[in-house]
């Protein structure tokens, strides 16, 4: 296809980078925000603005809540194609009760997985979710959207496009292309090491853009490669579902052998049995961890085959001081409280896998490293955005002479994906502060409204970007860049002011109380506003300096 390796890699990098770059901007930006997803949740749900709590008592607090949890109407509805006959409305056989917490969680998320009678496949489950205040056991209203952990974070790995997992596949493809773009980028550039130190902002625009693109790409090259790669590994089960399709029989064989070996029953016995005290099991688990020299908090607690003689409780240690998310699992017989199994240390492969996934998902306590993750993510965004800008700059004068609209379209899409995405993000946060607590009859739920406003704001930004893009077809700057930068600055300040107005938690108060989650979000938005203002000013200066290029002029060709 191409004369040599470098040319083929350059073509791959340019065209695949361009198309999937739009997806990757979303992945990197919301990935960066997701580092502080639970902090954004605090901002969005003022009733959860208190200190992080440890896992509460199972017997006193969790069990009563688990017993009342039923799946939402929406989830029951999704069972329609998975059952023979009418869809059940009430579920009575829980196969798992679970709770997971980290050192950053004030509120606690609980889940119950119910068996589905008349299901076509016997291991179909339907889930019920609830969020509680662990200090009292009181449930939070179901329609408070956790904007950080339940919107920005899923946006990052699935674009919230769940139909047939298409969103996951698009992100997966983008991740693969990201790896290819990094490698092809390295092959294309001869002087890789020198480029780490090259940034000439005062040279012509194309040169500075390319310098910045290379700089942000190379400086964080290991980071970008690592995150794209580990992201793929984390969802390998979706991308290569080999062990649940072609090799499913092998998987079943292993599960049966494993159950015999570990003593953890695979199925229910069909005999009802009461529960022993789980709190006592937790105490025993913590005693055993301390004995091994790794005293710690409970991270994940799960009870399987609830209410059955084969039921067992699994208690995992929170990975606050480790890379692995949770570990040192200890399992107890639910009926008697006796120890069934203490998980052995991980095998070599397992340790590698835990390390890779744990570094990506970062639930550990290390604030500096987390901020570096945000920085890396934002550098990825800058790398991709400068890629777009370079693409447009390189071609717009050519396209202007040819009367082509190509550069214009790409530029408008770039505005939509860079500033437009930030506008949408601020839009949902503002909507979060302004929408009433309950929407009233005839309106969609509050959390649905917040999502609609997010997409609506983004669509508006896109329309604006396209409407204002005519100058690009003449080789000039799109005024939408500056206009959206100003919008971003304005919206960010409005969001911070709204936080003050609607919750009373203004910056002086949150900073003096040392309540960093909310102060951090406010400060981050204000910093963003300053960057946007600075950019807007620079763009104004550039627009005033740039000469106008007439399409019919036969000036020197610039490519």
Which residue in 246, 402, 502, 553 binds other proteins (CB under 8 A)? Answer: 246
Please state, in angstroms and rounded to a whole number, the distance separating the CA atoms of residues 422 and 408: 21
539 binds other proteins (CB under 8 A): no
User: Cβ closer to other proteins: 124 or 243?
Assistant: 243
Please state, in angstroms and rounded to a whole number, the distance separating the CA atoms of residues 167 and 181: 21
353 binds other proteins (CB under 8 A): yes
The answer to whether residues 126 and 76 touch, using CB atoms and an 8 Å cutoff, is yes
The most distant pair of C-alpha atoms in the chain lies apart, rounded to whole Å, by 89
343 binds other proteins (CB under 8 A): no
Question: Whole-number minimum distance, CB 264 to other proteins, in Å?
Answer: 14
Question: How are beta strands 298-304 and 94-100 bridged, if at all?
Answer: antiparallel
5 binds other proteins (CB under 8 A): yes
In this structure, what DSSP letter does residue 316 have?
E
342: which strand partners?
330
CB burial of residue 427 (10 Å; 0-12, 13-18, 19+)? buried
349 binds other proteins (CB under 8 A): yes
12 binds other proteins (CB under 8 A): yes
In this structure, what DSSP letter does residue 320 have?
T
165 binds other proteins (CB under 8 A): no
Query: From the CB of residue 268, how many other CB atoms can be counted at a distance below 10 Å?
Result: 18
Question: Whole-number minimum distance, CB 15 to other proteins, in Å?
Answer: 11
180 binds other proteins (CB under 8 A): yes
192 binds other proteins (CB under 8 A): no
Token output for 259: 């159950």
Cα dihedral 87, 92, 95, 96 sign: positive
Put residue 342 in one of left, alpha, beta given phi > 0 → left and psi -120 to 50 → alpha.
beta
326 binds other proteins (CB under 8 A): no
Nearest 5°: the CA angle 288, 293, 296 is: 65
* H helix or E strand, kind and range, residue 131: strand 125-132
Stretch that binds other proteins, among 289-297, 342-350, 434-442, 525-533 (CB under 8 A): 342-350
Which residue in 48, 101, 184, 208 binds other proteins (CB under 8 A)? Answer: 184
345 binds other proteins (CB under 8 A): no
Query: From the CB of residue 250, how many other CB atoms can be counted at a distance below 10 Å?
Result: 11
Number of chain residues interacting with other proteins (CB under 8 A) = 34
Question: Whole-number minimum distance, CB 24 to other proteins, in Å?
Answer: 16
Which residue in 169, 229, 500, 516 binds other proteins (CB under 8 A)? Answer: 229
Question: Whole-number minimum distance, CB 1 to other proteins, in Å?
Answer: 7
179 binds other proteins (CB under 8 A): yes
Stretch that binds other proteins, among 96-104, 348-356, 398-406, 516-524 (CB under 8 A): 348-356
User: Cβ closer to other proteins: 243 or 503?
Assistant: 243
User: Cβ closer to other proteins: 1 or 548?
Assistant: 1
Which residue in 242, 269, 280, 501 binds other proteins (CB under 8 A)? Answer: 242
402 binds other proteins (CB under 8 A): no
368 binds other proteins (CB under 8 A): no
9 binds other proteins (CB under 8 A): yes
Which residue in 198, 243, 262, 362 binds other proteins (CB under 8 A)? Answer: 243
Instruction: Measure Cα distances from 338 to 288, 297, 331 in Å.
Output: 14, 21, 9
186 binds other proteins (CB under 8 A): no
Stretch that binds other proteins, among 163-171, 229-237, 284-292, 368-376 (CB under 8 A): 229-237
Stretch that binds other proteins, among 80-88, 226-234, 295-303, 523-531 (CB under 8 A): 226-234
Which residue in 79, 96, 186, 233 binds other proteins (CB under 8 A)? Answer: 233
249 binds other proteins (CB under 8 A): yes
Stretch that binds other proteins, among 7-15, 48-56, 468-476, 482-490 (CB under 8 A): 7-15
User: Cβ closer to other proteins: 267 or 350?
Assistant: 350
Question: Whole-number minimum distance, CB 54 to other proteins, in Å?
Answer: 30
548 binds other proteins (CB under 8 A): no
- Site mask for other proteins (CB under 8 A), range 460-489, x = bound: ------------------------------
Please state, in angstroms and rounded to a whole number, the distance separating the CA atoms of residues 107 and 51: 9
Instruction: Measure Cα distances from 217 to 130, 209, 213, 341, 382 in Å.
Output: 41, 12, 6, 47, 9
The answer to whether residues 324 and 269 touch, using CB atoms and an 8 Å cutoff, is no
347 binds other proteins (CB under 8 A): yes
The answer to whether residues 182 and 221 touch, using CB atoms and an 8 Å cutoff, is yes
The answer to whether residues 206 and 359 touch, using CB atoms and an 8 Å cutoff, is no
Please state, in angstroms and rounded to a whole number, the distance separating the CA atoms of residues 211 and 198: 6
Token output for 310: 């084969």
Give the three-class secondary structure for 91.
Answer: coil
79 binds other proteins (CB under 8 A): no
Please state, in angstroms and rounded to a whole number, the distance separating the CA atoms of residues 387 and 210: 7
The answer to whether residues 95 and 306 touch, using CB atoms and an 8 Å cutoff, is yes
Query: From the CB of residue 252, how many other CB atoms can be counted at a distance below 10 Å?
Result: 13
Residues within the interface to other proteins (CB under 8 A): 1-2, 5, 8-9, 11-12, 176, 179-180, 183-184, 229, 232-233, 236, 240, 242-243, 246-247, 249-251, 253-254, 258, 347-350, 352-353, 356
């Amino acid at each position: 296809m191409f004369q040599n390796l470098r040319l083929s890699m350059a073509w791959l990098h340019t065209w695949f980078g361009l198309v999937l770059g739009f997806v990757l901007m979303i992945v990197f930006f919301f990935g960066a925000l997701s580092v502080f997803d639970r902090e954004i949740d605090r901002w969005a749900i003022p009733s959860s603005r208190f200190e992080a709590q440890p896992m509460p008592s199972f017997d006193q607090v969790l069990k009563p809540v688990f017993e009342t949890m039923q799946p939402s109407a929406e989830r029951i509805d999704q069972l329609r194609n998975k059952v023979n006959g009418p869809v059940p409305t009430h579920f009575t056989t829980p196969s798992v009760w679970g709770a997971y917490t980290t050192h950053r969680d004030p509120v606690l998320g609980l889940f119950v997985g119910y068996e589905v009678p008349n299901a076509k496949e016997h291991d179909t489950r339907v889930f019920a979710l609830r969020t509680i205040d662990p200090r009292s056991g009181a449930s939070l209203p179901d329609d408070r959207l956790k904007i950080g952990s339940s919107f920005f974070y899923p946006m990052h790995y699935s674009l919230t496009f769940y139909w047939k997992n298409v969103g996951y596949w698009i992100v997966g493809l983008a991740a693969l292309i990201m790896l290819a773009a990094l490698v092809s980028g390295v092959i294309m550039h001869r002087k890789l090491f020198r480029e780490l130190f090259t940034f000439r902002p005062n040279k012509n625009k194309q040169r500075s853009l390319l310098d910045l693109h290379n700089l942000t790409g190379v400086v964080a090259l290991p980071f970008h490669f690592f995150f794209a790669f580990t992201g793929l590994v984390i969802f390998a089960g979706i991308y290569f579902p080999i062990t649940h399709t072609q090799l499913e029989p092998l998987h079943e064989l292993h599960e049966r052998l494993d159950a015999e070996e570990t003593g953890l029953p695979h199925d229910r016995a069909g005999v009802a049995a009461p529960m022993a005290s789980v709190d006592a099991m937790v105490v025993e688990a913590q005693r055993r961890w301390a004995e091994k020299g790794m005293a710690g908090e409970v991270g994940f607690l799960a009870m399987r085959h609830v209410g059955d003689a084969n039921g067992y409780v699994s208690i995992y240690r929170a990975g606050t001081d480790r890379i692995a998310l949770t570990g040192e699992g200890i399992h107890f017989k639910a009926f008697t409280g006796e120890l069934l199994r203490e998980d052995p240390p991980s095998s070599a492969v397992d340790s590698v896998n835990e390390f890779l996934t744990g570094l990506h998902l970062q639930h550990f306590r290390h604030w500096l490293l987390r901020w570096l993750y945000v920085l890396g993510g934002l550098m990825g965004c800058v790398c991709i955005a400068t890629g777009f800008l370079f693409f447009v700059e390189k071609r717009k004068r050519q396209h202007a002479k040819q009367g082509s609209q190509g550069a214009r379209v790409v530029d408008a899409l770039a505005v939509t994906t860079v500033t437009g995405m930030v506008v949408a993000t601020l839009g949902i946060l503002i909507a979060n502060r302004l929408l009433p607590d309950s929407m009233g009859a005839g309106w969609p739920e509050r959390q649905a409204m917040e999502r609609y406003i997010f997409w609506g704001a983004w669509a508006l930004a896109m329309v604006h970007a396209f409407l204002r893009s005519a100058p690009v077809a003449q080789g000039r700057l799109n005024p939408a860049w500056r206009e959206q930068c100003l919008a971003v600055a304005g919206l960010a300040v409005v969001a911070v002011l709204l936080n003050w107005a609607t919750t009373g938690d203004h910056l002086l108060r949150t900073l003096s109380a040392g309540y960093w989650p909310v102060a951090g979000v406010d400060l981050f938005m204000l910093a963003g506003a300053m960057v946007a203002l600075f950019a807007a000013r620079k763009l104004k200066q550039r627009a005033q300096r740039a000469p106008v290029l007439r399409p019919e002029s036969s000036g020197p060709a610039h490519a």
